Structure 1
């Protein structure tokens, strides 16, 4: 089973440039950032693997990666062309930099250095007017090359559709998202993988669960048989399970 990772911009400002900045947090996890007086070259926001829970309740925001493995990075943002770029900085156990990568459009592949133990993703300013950041994903390159990936934040749904349809199965994973970075477990040999990664507030809202179940049914292709539930992880899944059973009318298998 492969694992992809979905991450968001956290609400604390300790890793965000906040001198004269206006930062708006939207309900779906999107962040709007503006700092008209920000100098070029400064970091707008950073995500890190560093933990400092004892002093400031900071948890690691990025997943641990495997040295020598290649990954794809996808940042979903809305920015003016040539106004922002992304940098990944890799460090070793002593904190020394052992490499870096730059992605001008927020997308690309990188190989995690063999000597690295940590890394940081930075949004860097050139001459931005506004940054609208929706989400980021870190994906094993084997998954990235095999699937077309779509994210719908309103329904907390991530869809992976195989480019070469060698298998006709459709599977569903349901997982409760309680942190900024969420692993998305991807069963092997599936044509289409749906992952609902919702927070507790969404899962406790019956209307949201009904709307999400209806949206998932629209994405589902009945020509390829029933939808198999691969896993269910979380404490607050009751409303969503009920909504899915009603929407699919017994077309879901466990």
Structure 2
């Protein structure tokens, strides 16, 4: 059984983004700064789809397939001004493209069940009365997975940490360097030990100086997190390094060097 959490980013293509009078910018970590203060309430800032018509929409599906009758958890990493001025809406559609259910959440998110009879779904960031928004990503996982882990995200370094709610404080941990050129990245949590995902992109890894800084920051955050989790255990276990997706070889080599220096 796969234990996956999906990280859903805001794509740089603007096909499903409300851009009339909007200012939109992306930083090197794919964090989005968005502002459209004159946008009417109820309008979607951006919408992700689980099924698309490429001819008309010029883009492929951005959301994972979900299972009917299964309980899921969604959360969002964003900050809006003023507070509670952007919310997350999920709409579920049947074969006739009719809405069979609709759920609404704030950034903290919550649980929902994928309805029987639904064949596709959309997720949208919807305006209430925002002045500005800083968005990192959405998180989506089965509730059984979400309930077994504590999640934390360092937005400055792009480091997602998932800690089992029950684990041995001298257990090994995992660090995964992930770089995929997709809107949605799946992170595998088939483990009973702490796991860290460093989210990279081509714009960063094409610049070695920026990559060096990102790796050093991530390394420091991982070491601090492990020290906190193990409560200062002298030998908290080994950090196993791996990678997901395509990235330059030097990225793995430099992170492995940092880890070797700590042993």
> What TM bracket, shorter-length normalisation?
0.7 to 0.9
* Map of 1:223 onto structure 2: 235
Q: Is the 8 A contact 1:204 1:236 kept in 2?
A: no
Of 76, 91, 94, 1:92 maps to: 94
Superimposed CA distance per residue, residues 101-147 of structure 1 (whole angstroms, 9 cap, x where no aligned partner): 11134511111112212111112222221222221111222232222
Closer/same/farther in 2, CA of residues 23 and 188 from structure 1, 3 Å limit = same
RMSD, aligned α-carbons: 2.3
Of 250, 254, 262, 1:243 maps to: 254
Closer/same/farther in 2, CA of residues 180 and 109 from structure 1, 3 Å limit = same
Q: Is the 8 A contact 1:203 1:239 kept in 2?
A: no
**Structure 1 residue 56: deviation in Å?**
4.8
Superimposed CA distance per residue, residues 206-245 of structure 1 (whole angstroms, 9 cap, x where no aligned partner): 334433433343213373211123x433332411111122
Q: Is the 8 A contact 2:180 2:246 kept in 1?
A: no
Of 153, 173, 179, 1:176 maps to: 179
2:71 and 2:27 mapped to 1: Cα distance?
Answer: 32
Structure 1 residue 62 and structure 2 residue 82: aligned? no
Question: Which residues in structure 2 correspond to 1:78-117 (within 5 Å)?
Answer: 78-79=79-80, 80-117=82-119
Closer/same/farther in 2, CA of residues 201 and 23 from structure 1, 3 Å limit = closer
Question: Which residues in structure 2 correspond to 1:131-146 (within 5 Å)?
Answer: 131-146=133-148
**Structure 1 residue 99: deviation in Å?**
0.9
Q: Is the 8 A contact 2:45 2:125 kept in 1?
A: yes
* Map of 1:128 onto structure 2: 130
Closer/same/farther in 2, CA of residues 26 and 201 from structure 1, 3 Å limit = closer
Q: Is the 8 A contact 2:21 2:36 kept in 1?
A: yes
Range moving further from structure 2, 158-167 or 70-79: 158-167
Q: Is the 8 A contact 1:174 1:197 kept in 2?
A: yes
Q: Is the 8 A contact 1:204 1:239 kept in 2?
A: no
Structure 1 residue 233 and structure 2 residue 237: aligned? no
1:20 and 1:211 mapped to 2: Cα distance?
Answer: 35
1:9 and 1:15 mapped to 2: Cα distance?
Answer: 10
2:219 and 2:135 mapped to 1: Cα distance?
Answer: 28
Closer/same/farther in 2, CA of residues 185 and 105 from structure 1, 3 Å limit = closer
* Map of 1:28 onto structure 2: 29
Q: Give the TM-score taking structure 1 as reference length.
A: 0.87
Q: Is the 8 A contact 1:85 1:103 kept in 2?
A: yes
2:166 and 2:208 mapped to 1: Cα distance?
Answer: 36
Closer/same/farther in 2, CA of residues 47 and 165 from structure 1, 3 Å limit = same
